[in-house]
């Protein structure tokens, strides 16, 4: 099992940008991916294989109304990019819980292998 204490993910509404060339990830989205990548390297996390279960506790940075699923695409893509797992299609169970706000926001993630 992997347990991670991560920064609060950026909103999917501000994650992607659009140009004549197509869709791209904006700078704060790229920085989030880099931060997650560096943390996983620092912790020497090995890539998980097979079917996975992911539990996420979201601690928003303020009291604004937020959709619970809004930060998930950014978070799951950053974990994939960082090497927690090969592809987010491996996730067969996803449990998300929104908690009370904390200064700066944070995200607690637990990734487990599912036994068939």
Where residue 109 sits, what CATH number does that domain have?
A: 3.30.1330.70
Q: pTM, whole model, 2 decimals?
A: 0.91
Sign of CA pseudo-dihedral 58, 60, 63, 68? negative
Q: Are strands 22-25 and 2-6 parallel, antiparallel or unpaired?
A: unpaired
Structure tokens, 58: 């979201």
Mean pLDDT of 89-94: 97
| pLDDT attached to residue 41 | 95
| pLDDT attached to residue 115 | 80
- Domain hosting 65: range is 2-113
Q: How many domains does the chain have?
A: 1
Percent with pLDDT over 90 in the chain = 88
- What CA–CA distance (Å, rounded) separates 4 from 106? 10
């Amino acid at each position: 099992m992997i347990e991670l204490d991560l920064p609060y993910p950026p909103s999917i509404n501000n994650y992607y940008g659009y140009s004549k060339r197509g869709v791209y990830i904006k700078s704060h989205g790229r920085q989030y991916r880099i931060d997650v990548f560096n943390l996983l390297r620092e912790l020497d996390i090995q890539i998980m294989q097979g079917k996975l279960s992911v539990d996420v506790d979201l601690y928003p940075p303020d009291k604004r109304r937020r959709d619970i699923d809004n930060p998930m695409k950014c978070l799951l893509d950053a974990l994939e990019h960082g090497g927690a797992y090969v592809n987010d299609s491996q996730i067969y169970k996803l449990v998300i819980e929104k908690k009370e706000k904390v200064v700066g926001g944070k995200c607690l993630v637990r990734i487990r292998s599912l036994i068939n």
